[in-house]
Amino acid sequence: MRKVPGFAFLLLSFVAFSRGNDTLATLGAGALVPLKSNQIVMESEDLRISPHQIRIHYVLRNTSSQDIDAVVAFPLPDLDGGMIYGSPVEIPAKGTFNFVDFSVTANGEPVTVAMEARAHDSHGEDITSRLSADKLPISVLSGPVTSAVNQLPDAERRSLESAQLLIREESQEAGDKKPKLNWYPWWTTRVQFHWTQKFTAKSAVELVQTYRPVVGGSYIVQNDDGSTSIKPYCGTAGTLQRIAVGKRQHPAKTESDAIWIERKIDYILTTANNWKGPIGKFHLTVITDPEDILVTCYPGLKQTDPTHYEVVDTDYHPTSELKLLILQLAR
């Protein structure tokens, strides 16, 4: 009988449970963050969100009488190896450090950004140097880990297992002479893009940031009224009524067939507080398809046409993150 280490057994059980759940993980990213300078105000932020792209247009002004070279960063959401391999997640650009296709322009010109990628264990310790010394990928998305691990001496491989940085999985199919051995990374990858932006004294700079969100969610089936799905997003009786109407108009063949697909999008708003003062004018637009149902706790968001929801806030200090649920009819 094949022996499986207890830690590996727990992971395999988690993998089987999570994949049967069919719930895609949601990873929240957000806005640009200044790493230094308290003299720059955000006069306006125009945020446009859809399941396919997030676009933010900023107007930032240097209020001082001196030119400022400020380091500006965009941290990507953490990539946890256990989550990537243990639960469904749709990464927009797999195999790259820029897995959300991030780009930015300043006054209409593309900005060349630097990248910093680090790896951390489950205790938050930086293990980048150790992985590099073992010629293992820093990114949990950077191709198969198994081939790299197989090049390691047995003692180092056992050490990585003991440190709970690697998970071993054995599988054997009919006809196989011996089990196949795979290795999975059990660390977290943290990627941050950054550059130095010049802010001329008493002048404004327009920055435009785009990226593709990591959208999560499950589905609402024929025999589910949707109340559990919409509750965390402040859904109402009117939301439940729209869900029910969709079911009547698009009946499923069986009670367990999906009617509505969940598209969950998280956006980190509170990093805007790192700039000086409030956001002068904050304009949020959420773009959906005409039949979609948008559910969110964000106050004041109103439908302006069949595909757009908008709200404008002035002197805005965000106190929480933005969470959106877009329900789309299964086709």
HEC profile for the chain? CCCCCHHHHHHHHHHHHHHHHCCECCECEECCEECCCCCEEEEEEEEEECCCCEEEEEEEEECCCCCEEEEEEEECCCEEHHHHHHCCCCCCCCCCCCCCCCEEEECCEECCCEEEEEEECCCCCECHHHHHHCCCCCCCCCCCCHHHHCCCCHHHHHHHHHCCCEEEEEECCCCCCCCEEEEEECCEEEEEEEEEEEECCCCEEEEEEEECCECEECEEECCCCCHHHHHHHCCCHHHHHHHHHHHHHCCCCCCCCEEEEEEEEEEECHHHHHCECCEEEEEEEEECCCCCEEEECCCCCEEEECCEEEEEEEEECCCCCEEEEEEEECC
Residue 83 has pLDDT above 50, yes or no: yes
Q: Average the pLDDT over 79-99 and give the result.
A: 83
Determine what percent of the chain is predicted with pLDDT higher than 90: 70
Give the per-residue pLDDT at 24.
64
How do residues 175-229 score in pLDDT, each as one tens digit? Answer: 677 788 888 999 999 999 999 999 999 999 999 999 999 999 999 998 899 999 9
| Overall average pLDDT of the 108-133 stretch | 95
Global pTM value: 0.86
Q: Mean pLDDT across the chain, nearest whole number?
A: 88
- pLDDT tier for residue 143 given thresholds of 50, 70 and 90: confident
pLDDT of residue 42 exceeding 70 = yes
Domains detected in the chain = 6-329 (2.60.40.3680)
